Structure 1
């Protein structure tokens, strides 16, 4: 059994080429290789699922959700627990057999779909060497790149579909495309052009998926409202909620009400403070810390608890391992996990631990930031924004957002935001905003210059705002005074990029580095077709934007 691995799905992959001994994200070869086996199994599930759909057979909703959760579990910084992946692989094998039996005899079954996973972790790890990304050394590099681009786009879309499922929303078109696309990754008859088009189709489907999630979240928690959020500590016991799952946050708020526990959001949960159905809880006191990659430092020895609802989780230091609780898709060996039972979660263990730790002993001087500018809030002022543009008060819009990370070079986004002219507006979302969301960049035309649109899950807000502005100005999105400067780290960013490209949006700047899984040939296609470009320096990029 080999103790090596290969993974290049995230921006911080070793040397910009690939992690081969352990993941920069913290996953070890055992977890990485089990993830490879699971993805291979899901490709087979995709093949038989697509054959079922072609015959007009309905696929059980439990299977659709498993495919979504299985893909999401392999996204960067979600699950580091090998035992959970063994169970996922076993379940995928069962589902594949069910779909195979339902569809009957098929000609020309790909070898990948014929694969049968072993029952033990040891057997799965032995097989992993034959199933990984680079297992087929003869595979055309561009074909491999487009297959991996598709897989990573699916991982991103699976995150959004998972959150919608949690809130009781799903869509047959979104579910069905998982089978079509996964089947396409093992179809040797597909050309480079076919796979490129399949990636664009994923982008369009992801827009539908994000719209579904937007509807699910606003339906459950109301439309975000511009809100001043405390970002300093308050005296008393506390629980910090990280990840992306607002349903978990609400359940925790309900169970902690009246118990003397303060609840803070962390990283991508920050926008939760702007939703009416969450902010009504007075013990949701604010947000703690910054972006995900600083958690080991920010959580070090804290006298309170952390609940990780989804990505991004890092391997915890010993100083807080006993107080980091995971739930849902998240997995971390040796950390307590809270399961859902009959549609409910019992947060008693984390509540008791928080009370035992007693929390911070004194208040910090208060400091607040403004959030809550999702599409509903922004578009309610559409006429004022349009008038401000026409009168010259607002000269340009910048969308600066995406994933944050630890790699050097991400200060670019702070410097870029600082150097944008004072008569421009910055739309931001996802954890990339933590590079500049605490800076005082002033106001323009009565609006804060930085408008926080929410989580990466709220990327649909930015799309909706851009489309509405284009309609108001009777022009295409590419003709708007709008520039997109994006940072990426993991696969949700890949799904969002494919969504933007599928809309024909051009001239996107992407950084801090370009994906290792994209070959020069495929990158050239993206440059020629969409004018996609890497970031350079804030000064040069701003100069180029103004020169257009």
Structure 2
């Protein structure tokens, strides 16, 4: 065994990648990321589980974020982070030991499962915290929990203690998601329902993929008036709903679909692509010369755009767009199901602004059930379940969605109820807080608990942001969640049984059977 990684849904054989990552990650990268995790545990030990100052806090966030699936494939960049973390640790207590990489994934199967679930959840929360931090928003409670959680990873705990830590973490992640929601809405205003074209106009253009809205904002500012159009890709689609981003006329539309289709959709593209944050594929040689990375993203041999205090100069990217020139004629593209446009921007504020219409429709029987069909997309077979589920959902049901799983069905036209579209895209996985707020507000309006609402969560997972969202939902006591397309390899049978028994967690089966069970 040259490596071990089982943190993503597509891990080899449903058990773990041991020779090379299914994502394309090489053993030296995977092993360096394990060493990075252990260095972070050493830093937390040296800090005695408390914040160690602004620089250390930043390294904790970025170090955890770097180890999220499909972010960094460059072992040299990982090693540079390790060196910085060791330097910070030595300022506090040079004698504090790093955790031993081999111990991360070995030991009692249930303890490893619980420890891993906490670690992966923290990686997801670090992504949210970093997105908020670049916009100047931090929460001392969230920061402190990173240190507490990292220190806990290097300690012995009973199964009950681990479960307690997971629930405590889930509550903290809710605070982190609220922080990110505040950061985005204060910077870019409240999202509004927006139609987004899938056509690419002729002439120079740039595609932006990943999640980081500040990178997109700076690029829009720097391309203004230069004849270079900007298109979102993947999880960047919801950017069109934010007024402070959508006000730029050269933010033209959305190019392509979900992250796992990048190698096909970017093949020989006559434009550069900016890779921000996560949900990325290793670039093929046919377009690697026009890929630019930034933030914690790294691929060997790919140009990286650094920043100073989160300010970046995208001149090299813009010049590349002008050089490549784009297509000579407009190009018509469609979504997976043939649609030529999609909608986004149905955040909490928008949905609750029509709460009266929604409540009246429920009371009149026009709306019988709400489904939140969201989460990660991926290439593994079985994800057509979510397309089929939405197609087969009765006409008196509403589909809320978020994250890139929506690309399986967001270009479908399945009609309206009371003037409201039956599919409402609430944003990125980063916007999960908005969906939770809608559920809470509806429960208050109907004077009931969330679990008593005609609402079912049908989630797909791929990586660590989905893990931290699930832990938050469980911490809130939300039950009867359906999850797929397969169960995490890091959940041992005993831990899975606990989740099933305590929270009524359901592995998905078939759309027909699950709909029948939910709606009976």
**Interval containing the TM-score (normalised by the shorter chain):** over 0.9
Instruction: Indicate the SS of the match to 1:264.
Output: strand
Match of 1:14 in 2: 12
Q: Where does structure 2 lack aligned partners over 5 or more consecutive residues?
A: 334-339
Q: 2:113 aligns with which of 133, 142, 145?
A: 145
Match of 1:45 in 2: 43
In angstroms, what is the RMSD of aligned CA positions? 1.4
Q: State the alpha-carbon separation in 2 of the partners of residues 131 and 510 from structure 1.
A: 30
Q: State the alpha-carbon separation in 2 of the partners of residues 96 and 462 from structure 1.
A: 38
Match of 2:336 in 1: none
Q: State the alpha-carbon separation in 2 of the partners of residues 153 and 472 from structure 1.
A: 31
Match of 1:24 in 2: 22
Q: State the alpha-carbon separation in 2 of the partners of residues 96 and 468 from structure 1.
A: 44
Q: 1:542 aligns with which of 492, 515, 520?
A: 515
Worse-superposed segment, 358-367 or 418-427:
358-367
- Answer whether contact 1:338 1:347 (CA < 8 A) is retained: yes
Q: State the alpha-carbon separation in 1 of the partners of residues 445 and 299 from structure 2.
A: 48
TM-score by length of 1: 0.92
TM-score by length of 2: 0.97
Tell me, yes or no, if structure 1 residue 59 matches structure 2 residue 27: no
Q: State the alpha-carbon separation in 2 of the partners of residues 234 and 323 from structure 1.
A: 19
Q: State the alpha-carbon separation in 2 of the partners of residues 141 and 475 from structure 1.
A: 39
Alignment of 1:103-502 (within 5 A): 113-115=96-98, 131=102, 133-134=104-105, 136=106, 139-188=107-156, 190-365=157-332, 367-502=340-475
Instruction: Indicate the SS of the match to 1:263.
Output: strand
Instruction: Indicate the SS of the match to 2:400.
Output: strand
Tell me, yes or no, if structure 1 residue 88 matches structure 2 residue 85: no
Q: State the alpha-carbon separation in 1 of the partners of residues 450 and 484 from structure 2.
A: 22
State the Cα distance separating 1:342 from its structure 2 match. Answer: 4.9
The number of equivalent residue pairs is 514
- Answer whether contact 1:399 1:426 (CA < 8 A) is retained: yes
Q: Where does structure 1 lack aligned partners over 5 or more consecutive residues?
A: 102-108, 117-127
Q: State the alpha-carbon separation in 1 of the partners of residues 201 and 435 from structure 2.
A: 33
Instruction: Indicate the SS of the match to 1:114.
Output: coil
Q: State the alpha-carbon separation in 1 of the partners of residues 36 and 316 from structure 2.
A: 31
Match of 1:105 in 2: none
Tell me, yes or no, if structure 1 residue 530 matches structure 2 residue 503: yes
Q: State the alpha-carbon separation in 1 of the partners of residues 324 and 292 from structure 2.
A: 14
State the Cα distance separating 1:378 from its structure 2 match. Answer: 0.5
- Answer whether contact 2:198 2:332 (CA < 8 A) is retained: no
